[in-house]
Every structure is written in C-alpha cells, then in structure tokens.
Amino acid sequence: MARKLLLELADIPQIQNIDTYISHGGYRSLEKALKKMTPDEITEEVKKSGLRGRGGAGFSTGLKWSFLDKSTDKPRYLLCNADESEPGTFKDRYLMEKLPHLLIEGMILSSYALGSNTSYIYIRGEYMFVLRKLEKAIQEAYSKGFLGKNILNSGFDLDLYVHPGAGAYICGEETALIESLEGKRGNPRIKPPFPAVSGLWGCPTIVNNVESIAAVVPIINDGGDEYAKIGLGKSTGTKLISASGNIQKPGVYEIDMGITVEEFIYSDEYCGGMKDGLELKACVPGGSSVPILPRHLLFRESNGDSRRMTYESLSEGGFTSGSMLGSGGFIVYDEKQCIVRNTWNFARFYHHESCGQCSPCREGTGWMERILHNIENGRGTEDDIQLLWQVQKNIEGNTICPLGDAAAWPVAAAIRHFRHEFEYHVKYPERVFDADHTYQPEIQQTYSLTT
C-alpha cells in the first residue's frame, strides 16, 4: 500500500471540521514553523524536499520561492492557483473538498515563508460548493487564532481570502490569474517581468498550485529530506493523479512518484485495469494539453525500460515518442474510442478558451477545430490532414502564454501516432462508426495493416 502524505485523512468522517482535523494531527506544523523556524529555513526545507510545482510545468517550488524579490518595501503576495480547468484534471477539487484545512495549513506555512500577510486562493468559478467549504474552514481557522493578527503569538499576521473566477480556463495561467484578481479581463501578461518580481498590483508574488501548497505541510512536519526519500530521481514525493476513461476505477489517487505506468493502470490499488473486456488503445497522461501516447509507447521508454510515473520518464523520447506528467490528468482510451473525435473535442475546448490576444492562437485554434470537425464528419480531404499539421505548427511557440502550445500539442501527437485514423476518416467516412458511434477497431486494424 502506497504512503499517503496528502490524502491520509481524506476519508475520516467530519475531517472538514477544524476540531476533527486537529485531533488527527492537523495544524501541528504551525507551532514548529512559526515559533521555531525562520521563513528562510522553511524555504530551505522545501528546496531540500525537491518538490516540483504540481500545476503542470513541474518547476522547483523552493527555487521559485527564492526568486521572490525581497529587496523592496512593497507587500508580497502568495496566490494559490485553484482554477483547475484542464480537461481530465480534478485532483485539486478533490483535495480541497475533502481536506480544506490541509490547504489552509499549507497556505499559512507558505505565506510565512514568503512574508505574505495577505494571501488568496483563486478558485474556479464552477467550484462554488468547494469555495463554501473553504470559506467555512477559513472562519474556523480565524477562530482558533491560526489566521489573523499575531498567529500563535509568533508576531506573524495573515489574512486569507478565497476569490472565485468566472469559469475561464485561461485564468489558470498565472499572469492571467493575477489580471483577473486585479478585477480585469484575464489576459496573460508578457514575461518578464515574472510575478516573483512584479505580480499582483505590481508587487512580488508567488503563484502555486493547490497540491504544491498542501505538500508543504508534510514537508515541514517530517522534514524535506524525508519527503525527498520518496520517489525517483528528480521526481520526489507523492503525486495526486486524477484517472478517467474506460477503466474499472476512475478517481483520484495519491501515488509514490516512480511507480510504473503499467502498475497504475492495471493494479487493483489504482485504476484496476480496463472495463468491458476492451483493450487499451492510448493514454493522455497529464491532462488534455499533453501529447497522447499510443499503447506501444506507453509502457516502455525507448531503451526498453519500464515507463514510470515521473516527470522524466513520461517525457522520455521528447514529443516523438514521449509525453508529460503535466497536471496529472490521466485519461485512458479503449480500443473503440475514436482519436479524431477526441482531438476535435479538445480542439473545440481550446478554441473556446483562447483569450484572443495572440493571432496564432485566436485564429489557429478555430481553424483546427473546423478542420477536425470536417474530418470527423466525413467532409475532410487528404490535404486537410496536412493543413492541420501546418496550423498546429504555426501556433506552437508563437503565443504570449502556453495555451497555444497546449492546443497544438494534442493535435500534433494525434496526427503523429494515429495518422491512419485520420486517413481512414477521409477515405471511408461512412464506415468509421457503428450504431453506437464507437470506432470500429477491426476496420482500423485491417486498414492499418494494408496501408
């Protein structure tokens, strides 16, 4: 049974109440951190832990904290990114819903380390029911003296607010989030300056994902070195994975970094294997933005070693034969799922969510969506596949924020690994689906073998 550093208490009845949480060891890190450790010592523990940001990019959390500009008199801010809108990713919601006090405890520790006296949790607008739980938990934390003035007589003050977004995926991008929090339209800013130098209201700001901030609690309780003992290579600690698709047990799992992809999909502790006796066809391992991997690349790295649930292993082979751990949104496809239809679905999402600032993304996402729609609906041509490839290529790397890349990568990977399905759609539009609108694998197989 894998260790649980974050979700250990998740199934305890009434754990959302502060007294229950405290009676199971909750908030014990505050005495230690606020009274016996300096802010720099906390940052040092986070560095030692090797924790990498759980929002998608996997940047070292301790290193990011050390970039915070402390040379000015301006206030500093910690913003928790709870926007979580990436299709396939629902781990932060689970964590906040089950353990709101874990996030608040992490926010207090992290705010103390960064010298932030006013911190915000920016939450996705659709998570209103979670927002209410967080607000109740924050009130409880104030009543215990864990928030407010002179917390536990340490001299440290902190006010914590939850701020709902209005349902835009782009507001999860850190600079768009800052714009939105300032009351403006959530358009990403050009970087540099990075938020650590000039963020919220032009002040030094750190933006961290929910899971990253919650992980600071076990890091302070047990020490950064203990945390770093879990995992593999530069992927330390545990990771929340939200698993979906046609698997036996979809849900949110806390894994030790480094278990094999095969174990994650087939073991009873996690996904429990495929459903309905169907074969696995492909997997998107890190949320809709990362490249899809066909079965033959999913379990093995190019040197034949097992592919593992780490940042390094999932990206081994680059985009030719690898993908990314991303935000941990693990989507599994069975043999009957249509890759063209899935790619069109993602493209529709990115077109809808593009903020429209950069032409390649604004125009390109719409273009990709229309081409995919045509191919999926039997009106595509061979040239369309080539055009689709060109459009995604012209978006990648040509936008202010990575939403453009996030829209381009799934399309590129789908064409790279499943070109035969695109070609089949073009060649035999009337034969692609059966009555249930599921892809006919036997036709796909025959076609692949004969072309």
**For binding to ligand FMN (CB under 6 A), which residues are involved?**
53-57, 59, 81, 83-85, 169-170, 172-174, 207-209, 212, 401-403, 406
How far is Cα 269 from Cα 100, in angstroms, rounded to an integer? Answer: 25
Q: How far is the CB of 79 from ligand FMN (least distance, A)?
A: 8
Dihedral sign computed on CA atoms, order 392, 364, 315, 248: negative
Nearer to ligand FMN, 98 or 425 (CB): 98
Cα gap 78→49, rounded to integer Å:
20
Instruction: Provide the minimum distance between the beta carbon of 140 and ligand FMN in the complex, in angstroms, as a whole number.
Output: 25
Minimum CB distance to ligand FMN smaller for 33 or for 406 = 406
Query: Mapping DSSP to helix (H, G, I), strand (E, B) and coil, where does residue 430 land?
Result: helix
Helix, strand, coil share of the chain (percent; to 5):
45, 15, 35
For the CB of residue 63, give the shortest distance to ligand FMN in the complex, in Å: 10
Residue 300 forms beta bridges with which residues? 306
CA-based diameter of the chain, in Å?
Answer: 75
Closest CA to 290 of 264, 329, 317: 329
Query: In terms of CB distance, is 284 or 385 closer to ligand FMN?
Result: 284
> With respect to ligand FMN, which residue has the nearer C-beta, 208 or 444?
208
3-state SS, residue 244:
strand
CB of 231 to ligand FMN, least distance (A): 16
Calculate the CA 410 to chain-centre distance.
15
DSSP codes, 294-308: EHHHHSB-TTSPBPB
- DSSP label at residue 87: T
Nearer Cβ to ligand FMN (26/402): 402
Query: Considering beta carbons, is residue 29 or 85 the nearer one to ligand FMN?
Result: 85
Name residues whose C-beta falls within 8 Å of residue 105's C-beta, 6 or more positions apart in sequence.
26, 27, 29, 30, 146, 217
- Closest separation between CB of residue 215 and ligand FMN, Å? 9
Distance in Å, CB of 174 to ligand FMN, minimum: 4
Nearer to ligand FMN, 26 or 287 (CB): 287
DSSP, collapsed to helix, strand or coil, labels residue 359 as helix
Report CA-CA distances (Å) from 179 to 25, 76, 126, 288: 37, 16, 19, 24
Distance in Å, CB of 143 to ligand FMN, minimum: 29
Nearer to ligand FMN, 363 or 405 (CB): 405
- Closer residue to ligand FMN in complex, CB, 55/100: 55
Q: How far is the CB of 339 from ligand FMN (least distance, A)?
A: 23
Give the CA dihedral 358, 197, 84, 45, nearest 10 degrees. Answer: 150
Closer residue to ligand FMN (CB): 112 or 424 = 112
Cβ proximity to ligand FMN, 350 vs 424, nearer residue: 350
Q: How many CB atoms lie within 10 A of CB 132?
A: 12
**Segment (H or E) for 82:** strand 76-82
Between vectors from CA 280 to CA 279 and to CA 286, what angle results, nearest 5°?
165
Q: What are phi and psi of 315, to 5 degrees?
A: -100, 0
Q: How far apart are CA 408 and CA 394, in angstroms?
A: 9
- Minimum Å gap between C-beta 172 and ligand FMN is 2
Closest contact distance (angstroms) between CB of 430 and ligand FMN is 37
- State the Cα angle at 14 between 11 and 17, rounded to 5°: 125
CB of 139 to ligand FMN, least distance (A): 25
